[in-house]
Amino acid sequence: MTKIKVLVLSIFTLAAAGVVLFVVISKRPPQYYVRRGIAFGTNVQIAYATKKGNAKVVVDAMFDELERLNEIFNPYVESSELYKLNHSNGKWKEVSPRLLNVIKYSLKFAKYTDDAFDPALGRVVVLWGFNTDDPEKWRLPSPKEISDALKHSGYKNVEIDGNKVRLLNGAWIDLGAIAKGYAVDVLLKMAKLNDPESTGYVDIGGDIGIIGPKYGNKPWKIGVRNPRGDMNDSIAYVYLYKGTIATSGDYERFIIRNGKRYYHIFNPRTGYSPDNFEAITTISTSGILSDAFGTAAMVGGFDKTKKWAKDLGTAYLIVNEKGKVIKSDLWKDYEEP
Ligand code: ADP
Ligand code: MG
């Protein structure tokens, strides 16, 4: 209804004017406050609308929270809690409840996935150089370097006693495979705590969590990138009212040597990247699970992925090593708005 029609109605039918105006006002979509920026070592975008308080204040607080999380989970800045744990020379070290919880989750997931997932591959990650944003530093290590790094890796070197953690054999924890997903969960909680009815989404480097459906109970449309295309080349779309979605792939941080692609996810048994899939996108109710799942799936391959997904209730879209798209049955439920 146009503004003119509202005006006309309100003049000629005064009694009904309130109703008409109400309908017009309540149908006006709330303004999404959108903020983009670099946080948590990646591109972040948050869209938020609430009738309680000021959306900007909440979103700014979310960005501040990402700074704090980075100061816990980024193992490659000297000030962070995880850096200090990694450099505690095998001594017991008290850690914060958040770091402890995420480490515990990662250890459970490592066992669950028969060691496909491993939160203590820091030495391997650093050796290949994929911890840096500078592609000049990404390199193919020698087999000897890799076998040496593996001797100082693996989650079995992580011991927990109460709120203390000890790292044996010089192992380094790297939570790069789940930290973004965990951060999604933290921000969704913040949004809901402010206002359970609030709506919007958080996108932390492609790990997306839905705060609530778009005004009018409309889903958010999310594209899945073609792993061999550019940023805007989508091979599928899903429509989400809630939940989280994350992608792992071989196309973000990679090098090609002698015609072979090496990238930033590693088979913990070999120290080399697996070649099961080009990418996998996962939908689940939890950000940390969606994130962890994809990384483990890249290593575990198709049969295990299928089994884990059934067990855990996750939906997936795989682009396999031949570029073929495989969607789980659950995934198909999200393809219609
Ligand atoms: P993205 O970096 O795009 O978020 P992932 O969620 O798959 O992709 O995380 C990849 C990161 O996980 C790597 O950069 C590394 O820090 C870590 N990692 C690599 N291999 C493994 C593995 N097998 N298990 C757990 N973490 C891993
Ligand atoms: Mg992951």
> In this structure, are residues 44 and 203 in contact, taking their beta carbons and an 8 Å threshold?
yes
Amino acid at 287: G
Question: Cβ of 13: how many Cβ atoms within 10 Å?
Answer: 11
- Residue 6: the pLDDT is 36
- Residue 29: the pLDDT is 61
- 21/165: higher pLDDT: 165
- Residue 242: the pLDDT is 97
Amino acid at 183: A
- Ligand 1 pocket test: which of 76, 106, 121 has the largest number of ligand atoms within 8 Å of its C-beta? 121
- Residue 287: the pLDDT is 98
Residue with tokens 């009018």, as numbered in its chain: 216
- Residue 31: the pLDDT is 84
> Distance between CA 235 and CA 247 in Å, rounded?
13
- Residue 110: the pLDDT is 98
Q: What structural domains and CATH numbers belong to the chain?
A: 76-167 (1.10.3980.10), 219-337 (3.10.520.10)
- Residue 256: the pLDDT is 98
For residue 27, what pLDDT band results from cuts at 50, 70 and 90?
low
- Measure the CA angle with vertex 124, ends 118 and 130; round to 5°: 105
User: Residue 122 CA: which ligand 1 atom is closest?
Assistant: 16
pLDDT at residue 14 greater than cutoff 60: no
> In this structure, are residues 274 and 237 in contact, taking their beta carbons and an 8 Å threshold?
no
Inter-CA distances, 249 with 277, 280, 284, Å: 8, 6, 18
pLDDT at residue 9 greater than cutoff 90: no
3-state secondary structure of 146: helix
- Residue 272: the pLDDT is 98
For residue 268, what pLDDT band results from cuts at 50, 70 and 90?
very high
- Measure the CA angle with vertex 242, ends 27 and 200; round to 5°: 50
User: Residue 180 CA: which ligand 1 atom is closest?
Assistant: 4
Instruction: For residue range 37-74, list pLDDT tens digits in order.
Output: 999 989 999 999 999 989 999 999 999 999 999 999 99
For residue 231, what pLDDT band results from cuts at 50, 70 and 90?
confident
Ligand minimally distant from the alpha carbon of residue 296:
1
Instruction: For residue range 138-179, list pLDDT tens digits in order.
Output: 999 999 999 999 999 999 999 999 999 999 999 999 999 999
> In this structure, are residues 282 and 238 in contact, taking their beta carbons and an 8 Å threshold?
no
> In this structure, are residues 207 and 184 in contact, taking their beta carbons and an 8 Å threshold?
yes
Question: Ligand 1 atom 9: the closest Cα is on which residue?
Answer: 177
- Residue 282: the pLDDT is 98
| Protein residues placing their CB within 5 Å of the ion ligand 2 | 177, 248, 291, 294-295
- Residue 7: the pLDDT is 34
266 DSSP 8-state letter: -
Instruction: Report the percent of the chain where pLDDT is more than 90.
Output: 89
> Distance between CA 182 and CA 37 in Å, rounded?
18
Q: Kindly report the average pLDDT of the chain as a whole number.
A: 92
Please compute the mean of the pLDDT values over residues 214-221 and round it to a whole number. Answer: 92
pTM, to two decimals = 0.92
> Distance between CA 248 and CA 280 in Å, rounded?
6
Instruction: For residue range 85-128, list pLDDT tens digits in order.
Output: 999 999 999 999 999 999 999 999 999 999 999 999 999 999 99
For residue 330, what pLDDT band results from cuts at 50, 70 and 90?
very high
Residue with tokens 């840096």, as numbered in its chain: 132
3-state secondary structure of 249: strand
Instruction: Report the percent of the chain where pLDDT is more than 70.
Output: 91
Residue with tokens 């000629």, as numbered in its chain: 12
Question: Cβ of 187: how many Cβ atoms within 10 Å?
Answer: 27
pLDDT at residue 205 greater than cutoff 80: yes
For the Cβ of 154 lying below 6 angstroms from any atom of ligand 1, the answer is: no
- Residue 5: the pLDDT is 36
> Distance between CA 139 and CA 162 in Å, rounded?
39
For the Cβ of 262 lying below 6 angstroms from any atom of ligand 1, the answer is: no
Question: Where are any strands of DSSP class E within 18-109?
Answer: 33-39, 42-49, 93-94
Compute and round to an integer the Cα radius of gyration of the chain.
23
Please compute the mean of the pLDDT values over residues 255-277 and round it to a whole number. Answer: 97
For the Cβ of 225 lying below 6 angstroms from any atom of ligand 1, the answer is: no
